[in-house]
Amino acid sequence: MEKNINLTLKIWRQAGPKVKGEFETYKLDNVSTDNSFLEMLDILNEKLVKERKEPIAFDHDCREGICGMCSLFINGHPHGLDGETTTCQLHIRRFHNGQTITIEPWRSAAFPVIKDLMVDRGAFDKIIQAGGYVSVNTGGVPDGNAIPISKVFADEAMDAASCIGCGACAATCKNGSAMLFVAAKVSQLALLPQGKVEAAHRAKAMVAKMDELGFGNCTNTGACEAECPKAISISHIARLNREFLSAKFKD
């Protein structure tokens, strides 16, 4: 049922990467509970523009939970309190009248703030470029049944492939570790015959890039899995460890 509520928003404002940021408080009245969280920010930005103030910069693109662009650390949780949803799938009906909402950017040494709530997640692209692909000449389209893949492996690879690279795992991790993301990207290929060929090289190259970019050491707290909008399981991290260690011992 639609109703309107009043919100107090504590939002991180930072003019640029090198500038010191701070929280600013905004009052937003009469927000429909049918609005999505990002629509609420749009309304606030329109208001700011009308008042001739600088609107708040935040990342978003698909607004349907598939692109991984939206970020936002909302009241202590990446993508807000709800499990298995992205910020763009969060709705104002999950908040109550008069509530104060604290909105922060991802904070991690490897994700520097560009402006306000927008961070540079290029580090993840660099990790993918280091080896998150299959480099074989595939020729024509092969027959669908030519390469048998067991249902178990197909499902596990599919689950890993649902990672949208949003960065919530590294943002929430007390160690600033990107292991869940890297594990998902290594697993989705290592489990399939096409990806197995380069599995050893891939695991080594992607982990080396991850370390080089300044992400932390995983201590298996499991916070990443709890906050991941796609519920990627930490069991993929065990697979990454396995792939990496066996590749190193073979050298």
d(CA 113, CA 16) in angstroms, rounded, equals 7
Pick from ligand SF4, ligand FES, ligand HEM, none: which does 168 bind, CB < 5 to 8 A by kind?
Answer: ligand SF4
Residue (of 162, 196, 163, 197) closest to 178 by Cα position: 163
Q: Is 149 left (phi over 0), alpha (psi -120 to 50) or beta?
A: beta
Segment contacting ligand FES (CB under 6 A): 6-14, 66-74, 154-162, 190-198? 66-74
Number of chain positions touching ligand HEM (CB under 6 A): 2
Closer to ligand SF4 at the Cβ: 43 or 128? 128
Tell which one of 48, 66, 161, 247 touches ligand FES (CB under 6 A).
Answer: 66
Closest distance of CB 161 from ligand SF4, Å: 10
d(CA 211, CA 153) in angstroms, rounded, equals 28
* Touching ligand HEM, residues 176-235 (CB under 6 A): 219-220
Closest distance of CB 97 from ligand SF4, Å: 31
* Touching ligand FES, residues 76-105 (CB under 6 A): 86-88
Closest distance of CB 28 from ligand HEM, Å: 42
Closer to ligand HEM at the Cβ: 100 or 220? 220
| Contacts to ligand SF4 by CB under 6 A | 163-169, 180-181, 184, 228-230, 232
Contact footprint for ligand HEM (CB under 6 A): 219-220
